[in-house]
Each structure stands twice: as C-alpha cells, then as structure tokens.
Structure 1
Amino acid sequence: MRGEVCIGSASALSFISLLLLIFAHVGQINTDTVPSQVSLVTVNMTGYARGLQGATGDPTPGLFTNDSRTALGQEAGLRNIYSWGFYKYCAYTEKPLGQCANQTFGFPFQPFDVILGDTPELYQIQTRYVLPQASAFVDSVYLADYTRAGFWLVFLGTLAAGIAFLSGLYKSTMTFMISTVFSMFGAGCLLIGASILTAVLNKAKSINNYTVADGTPLGIIVSTGSALSLIWAAFVLLFISMGPYLISCSTYRK
C-alpha cells in the first residue's frame, strides 16, 4: 500500500506540473477567455500619450487607435495593452478586444520593435528619442536572445515532465528509473529557464520608473504575467516528484 501511495504521489505531482506548463504554453495563442488571461509579460501603454506629450510639449492625436481590428505592425496606432506568450503576442485596445500577431515557435520578446511597428509615422522620431536607449527595454537583440533561450529550456522541461509522467504509469523498476531521470532533467531545465526569463523580464522593467524632461512618468509599464508563476510552480512540483520516483525505482519489486 505504501508503495502505491508513493507511486501515486509521484504521478500526481508530475501530472499537475505538466498541466501547469501546458497552461503556460497556451498563453496569448488567441484572444479567447483563457489564453488571453495567461501571459509571460505584459506592456501597459495607457500612460504613454501623456508621457510623450510631457517630453515634447505637443498633444498626441492619433497616437493610439481605438479600432481593435486595425492591423498590427502597420504604423496604424498603438494599443493600450500588449501581452506576450511563448508563441505570439496579442495587442488589445481593451480586453478582450484585440488581435494577435502571426504565430512563431518561441516568439521573441521585442517590445521596442513592436511599439515602433504600431507607432504612426508622425511620432516615430519622438518615440525613438524619448525611450531611454540605455534601458534593456529597447535592446531587442538582448531580449530576443535570452527569452528564446528561456523558452527552449522551458519547452524541454515540458517534454521531460510529460515523459516522466507517462513512463511512471507503467509499473516497473526501469520505467520508474526513466521517470526519475526525466523529472531531474525537466526540473533542471525549468529552473534555469525560469531563472533566465525572470532575470531578463526584470531588467525590462527598468522602463517603469523612467520619467521625461518635465518629470512626467513615461507611461510604459512592464509586468510579468501568470505564465512565469506557472512555470515556477511546475518546477517545484516536478522537483518534489523526484523523491517518490527515486524511492519507487529503488524499492519496487514486481
């Protein structure tokens, strides 16, 4: 009975870990209720019109668009909210009204490029001038490289969690050994991947405290989303599952 409890707890932990990772992966794949609520990182632009006006002294008519159907990346107007997932980003005039970019495996976090893509031509020069070039927020190469690295590690961790769970369903010493190895590998990948993403996204948050010449906040706020919390929780559960899997591997007798 104790052996069954040990095996069952390991399977439950790895399954819940896998489930959390699946939820993290579906974030921002479309604007439906569940995916739209899960994101890796969100950029709130609602205060930027005031910030740009404070920097230039001029009003900013046409800087934002109120039409959620307006094409992305066509310099047709900024949206209030931009949210990134692992496979695409979505832009919202107000949730749930928005649309998503084309899907890319391991979509890079490049907020500066996305903002410029939506900024009307009239405000392109001002935007390039106002946003602090020393901030990691505008370093698209740095952000893209490290968020891609974080994605691949999380992706490998997800695959490993799935293998650990499926292998542990068949009761034998060998399958429990496989589950132990893959839970260890997966937990390691998730730990490193989540750490990279956390560090990089925290650096991007440096834009939050930036003020323009007259002391007005720039009005761009970066915040990490629930997907990052899901990844950390999945790591903890998969790490804990290593113990029961290892015990089952060492003590199971058919």
Structure 2
Amino acid sequence: MVFRGLCVGLGEFLTFAAVILMVFANIGQLTNNIVTRNIRYVSVDASNLGNALASTNTATNDLYAANPAAPVAQGNGIRQSYQWGLYNYCAGQPSGDSRACSDKSFGFEWQPVDALLNDAPQDARNGIQNFLPEATFRDSKYLGDYSKPAMYLIFIGSCLALLSWISGLLSHRFAFLGAAFIALLAALTLGVGAALLTAIYTKARDSVGVQYGVVVHYGNALWMTWGAFVACVLAIVPYILSCCTGRSDDY
C-alpha cells in the first residue's frame, strides 16, 4: 500500500511538474508583464548588425528604431533584440518595458530575417538581405516549415501532459494505465517538437554569427519544454507500477 502510494504520488508530481513547465513555456512573450516577457524559446541579438553592414559600406542610416516600443513590422527601424514565444515575437529591450510585440497567431512560424526586414527602413532592406549569408538563418521557408509543426506538437504535448496528470488523480488502476499511456504520448509530442526547434535554432545559429552582427541564443522556454519531456518520460514507470499494484476499484 505504501509502495503504491509512493508510485502514485511520484507519477502525479512528475506530470504536474510537466504541466507547470509547459504553462510557463506557452505564455512566453504573450504579454509585457515581468514574467512572460522574460520567457522565450529563442532570441536574436541584432545590436551589431549596423556595424557589420557599415564594414561593407552598406548604408545604415536610421537603421535602428529611435523608439524601441514603436510597433513592429512597420518599417520603424530594427530593434537591438528579438524574442520569440510559441505564438508571437517581441522586439526591443529583452527585459524592459521599451518593447513591442507582433500579433499572436496559432501555428506561428519562426522567421527571424522576415522580422528584421519588416522593421528595417525600406531603403535598407535589400542591403540587409544581400549581406546576410545564403544559409539556414535566411531561409524563411525552411524555418517556417519546421517551426510551425513544432509549435503544434508542443501545444498538443502540453494538453496531453495535463490530461495525464488529471488521469492520475482518479485513483483507479485503469486510470493509472491511461495516465501512463497519455504521458508517453505527451513525451513523444513534446520531444519531437523540442527536437525540431532545437535543430533549426542550432542550424540558424551556426549559419550566422559575429561577423554578420547577428547572434542567435537559445531561450529558457526551450529548456522548459525539454524538462517537461523528461518529466513525462519519468512519470510512465510509476504510473505503470501503480496500475500493476492497485485495485480495479477506487481507493
């Protein structure tokens, strides 16, 4: 009885931890409050892009926004930093109030060059596009094609983690079996989604760098997703043991 209780408690704790991690990962960049603005899947530091362009004699007049809080994607000038969540991105001060965010959408795609070009003054866009290397960072179609399904998988995995935790609360051996199966599905979807994002972020980061004045940084929400994946994987065993040692009726 004690062993069964420990298994149940461990499974519930792990799936609850996965739910909490994914709640935070999902709300990143949705608002400008002190919590959500500091949660991101990936960020792009473009603070040295102007210097890199100047070294190639590319015109950089009024490249950066005079007001970091001006609306994004309207040619108001590039921001020093861009931060992406699952459903939108924000630009400006990474941890301050002087920032603006894009519209939110389900199935949001990570396309960093498009964000830069949409902010850049009209007469600087061709110069920026020609300056950046013809590699993954500039391949908006490739990045969009992989980041969009990753976003769906992570959202589905978040919902499955919640269902697994709720199933574990039902205190029934078949509910524990269901919780284990749902935790497995949650782990698969979260793992594949996180792997897709990690892969494209890594390829984009490696294809551009200091010489181009643009640096890609992994965000804390990505590690939260990997943490939720691990928690779901670990929850499978105690839920299965709970099923094997439990009764067919409620406790």
Q: TM-score range by the shorter chain?
A: over 0.9
Question: How far apart are the structure 2 equivalents of 1:31 and 1:7?
Answer: 38
Q: Matches of 2:121 and 2:95 in 1, distance apart?
A: 22
Gaps of 5+ in 2: none
Match of 2:167 in 1: 167
- Cα distance between partner residues in 2 of 1:251 and 1:62: 69
Name 1:237's counterpart in structure 2: 231
- Relative to structure 2, which stretch is displaced further, 1-10 or 68-77? 68-77
Q: Could you tell me which residue of structure 2 aligns to residue 114 of structure 1?
A: 115
Identity of matched residues, %: 31
Structure 2: how far apart are the matches of 1:93 and 1:122?
A: 25
Distance 1:167 1:91, change over 3 A: same
Indicate conservation of the 8 Å contact 1:26/1:35, yes or no: yes
Paired amino acid for 2:43: T
Distance 1:127 1:208 in 2: 13
Paired residue for 1:221, among 202, 215, 239?
215
Q: Which amino acid aligns with 2:106?
A: F
2:158 is aligned with 1:158: yes
Structure 1: distance between partners of 2:196 and 2:186? 15
Q: Tell me the TM-score normalised to structure 1 length.
A: 0.93
Matched residue SS, 1:21? helix
Cross-structure match for 2:11:
10
2-structure distance, mates of 1:220, 1:48: 6
Could you tell me which runs of 5 or more consecutive residues in structure 1 were left unpaired when the two chains were aligned.
211-216
In the alignment, what sits opposite 1:42? Answer: 43
Tell me if structure 2 keeps the 8 A contact 1:30–1:99: no
1:87 is matched with 87
2 CA distance for matches of 1:182 and 1:172?
15
Q: CA deviation at 1:74?
A: 1.3
Q: Distance in 1 between matches of 2:142 and 2:27?
A: 24
Counterpart contact for 1:207–1:222, Cα < 8 Å: no
Q: Aligned Cα RMSD in Å?
A: 1.3
- Aligned counterparts of 1:128 and 1:151: Cα–Cα separation in 2: 26
SS at match of 1:33: coil
Q: AA paired with 1:32?
A: N
- Provide the rounded CA distance (Å) in 1 between the counterparts of 2:161 and 2:79: 37
The 2-side partners of 1:93 and 1:2 are apart by 51
Deviation, structure 1 residue 57: 5.7
Quick one: distance in 1 between partners of 2:228 and 2:95? 27
Separation in 1 of the partners of 2:244 and 2:121?
A: 64
Instruction: State the shift of 1:209 in Å.
Output: 3.0
Aligned to 1:24: 25
Deviation at 1:155, TM superposition (A): 1.2
Query: Is this contact kept in 2: 1:30–1:90, CA < 8 A?
Result: no
User: For the residues of structure 1 that align with 2:224 and 2:160, how far apart are their CA atoms?
Assistant: 16
Partner Cα separation in structure 2 for residue 162 and residue 95 of structure 1: 29
- TM-score w.r.t. the length of structure 2 is 0.94
Residue 107 of structure 1, CA deviation? 1.5
Equivalent pair of 1:116/1:124 in contact (CA under 8 Å): yes
**C-alpha deviations, 1:178-202, integer Å up to 9, x for none?**
1011001111111111111111110
The 3-state SS of whatever aligns with 1:55 is coil
SS in 1 for 2:115: helix
Q: Matched residue of 1:99: which SS?
A: strand
Q: Contact 1:137/1:207 (CA < 8 Å) preserved in 2? A: yes
Aligned pairs, number: 246
| 1:152-210 CA distance string (max 9 Å, x none) | 11111111110110011011122111101100111111111111111111011024336
Q: In 1, Cα distance between the equivalents of 2:88 and 2:168? A: 33
Query: Are the counterparts in 1 of residues 44 and 215 from structure 2 also a CA contact under 8 Å?
Result: yes
What is the alpha-carbon distance in structure 2 between the residues aligned to residue 93 and residue 207 of structure 1? 25
The whole-number CA distance in structure 2 between the counterparts of 1:71 and 1:190 is 32
1:89-129 CA-partner distances (Å, limit 9, x unpaired): 00114631101111101321011111110110121221121
- Aligned residue in 2 for 1:204: 204
Give distance in 2, aligned partners of 1:95 and 1:69.
13
1-structure distance, mates of 2:62, 2:209: 25
Question: Which amino acid letter does the alignment assign opposite residue 187 of structure 2?
Answer: A
